[in-house]
Each structure stands twice: as structure tokens, then as C-alpha cells.
Amino acid sequence: MAGTKLFLSLMLMFAVSSLSAMWIKLSESELLKDSQLVIKAVLGERIDHVPGEPHLRVFHVEQVFIGEQGISEVFFRVFPPDKPLSSSDLIFLEGQKGIWFLKETRPGSKIYFLDHPQRFWPVDREPRLLELMEKKEPGSPAGAN
């Protein structure tokens, strides 16, 4: 009986430890359609001074492809630093530069979140983004809504 309990305990421990987040692949068109803001930006520091939003980081925006033009900073929600990491937490590094496909936390909030690893593209994929945007709205310039 003790051997069976040990075996079942070990099997349960192995099964739980091998669990990790699984992501459903998004098509490029779904990603574009489901993003309220698409920017080329550098990930900045944590921000602690926004009332009601204790866990934010800032993007330093270089270019807006889709969304409000002329912005230089964008805030996005991150997991609390004192919370244990989950396998579904997305981790990006300060100074990381790329193309970010962002969703608003609430309509009109101007605070965004990243809920899928495909919401980050390296900068060298910019030509592909421009191609997709052209297909989406033929004849419209990049960055037009």
C-alpha cells in the first residue's frame, strides 16, 4: 500500500511539474485585427505613480503603425513583482526593442496589455507588417486607421 501511495505521489508530482502554458497560434491578420495599438518601441522602466494601476511599465514609442498618432509613451500592465511567476506570464526585458501589438485593458483606458507571445515581433519584421497593413486597407498609408 505504501509503495502504491509513493508511486501515485511521484506520478502526480511529475504530471504537475511538466505543465506549462500553451498558446494557440494567431494568424497575422487576427493579430492585426485584435490590436488597438501597433507600435515600434523600446520597453522601459516600471512606473509606480499611476493611481489605481500599481503594476505598469512604459514603452518609449518610436513609431505608431496603428492607433493614436503622435504619442511618445504608452503604459502596459505587468504582473506584480512580488507574485510568483506563472508559466503563462510573458517576460520582456527593459531595453527590448521591437514591434508590439497591444490591446487595451478597458476601452478608452489608454493602458494596454500583452496576452500572447506573438504580440511582440523583432524590428526586422517591419516590412511584413507594412505588407499586411497594405493588404488590409489598399491605398492607405502606413499608420492610417
pLDDT digits (tens, 9 = 90+) for 73-122: 998 877 666 666 666 666 777 888 999 999 988 888 888 988 788 888 99
Which residues, 6 or more positions from 142, have their beta carbon under 8 angstroms from its beta carbon?
Answer: 65, 130, 133, 134
Rounded-to-integer distance, Cα 47 and Cα 55, Å:
7
Phi, psi angles (nearest 5°) of residue 76: -140, 150
Helix (H) or strand (E) holding 79: none
26-136: which CATH number, 2.40.50.120, 3.40.50.10470, 3.30.300.180, 2.60.40.290? 2.40.50.120
**Average pLDDT, rounded, for the chain:** 77
| Residue with cell string 505504501 | 2
Phi, psi angles (nearest 5°) of residue 111: -120, 130
| Residue with cell string 517591419 | 126
Task: Decide: helix, strand or coil at residue 63.
Answer: strand
**For position 108, what pLDDT does the model report?**
83
Give the pLDDT band (50/70/90) at residue 4.
low
